[in-house]
Copies of this chain bind each other. A is one copy, B any other.
Amino acid sequence: MAGEADCLEPDEIELGAVLSALADPHRRRVIRDLVNDADGSERSCTSFGLELSKSTRSHHFKVLREAGLVHQVDRGNRSEVTLRRRDLDARFPGLLDLIGRDGT
């Protein structure tokens, strides 16, 4: 799967891709949950309670990591998702807070 292959450098993260990724309500919910979690918490893809088939769920996480929003580590059996908070805060200050505060 992913590994480190599609991990964007911090300065390669593009606003257009980030906004497109966040335009989808499922993906926005994932990010909102991560923002409101304790710092740097690792979560599995299934822990977000998305009511989707697992192939669709996998697709959404691919979009998120290719946009540079999350980091995903392959543990074979499972996959650990972390928010790239430091990179995102540096590049788009305030953006994650907006997502975290949203009540939609």
Number of copies: 2
Most buried by B among A23, A92, A102: A23
Q: For chain A, give the interface size range.
A: 10 to 19
Segment of A11-19, A34-42, A47-55, A58-66 in the binding face = A11-19
**Residues in B whose Cβ lies below 8 Å from that of A98:** 15, 92-95
Which B-chain residue is minimally distant from A102 (CB atoms)? Answer: B15
Instruction: Verify if A104 is at the interface (C-beta below 8 Å from B).
Output: yes
State the Cβ distance, A44 to closest chain B Cβ, in Å. Answer: 25
Binding site for B on A (CB under 8 A): 14-16, 19-20, 22-23, 25, 28, 92-95, 97-99, 102, 104
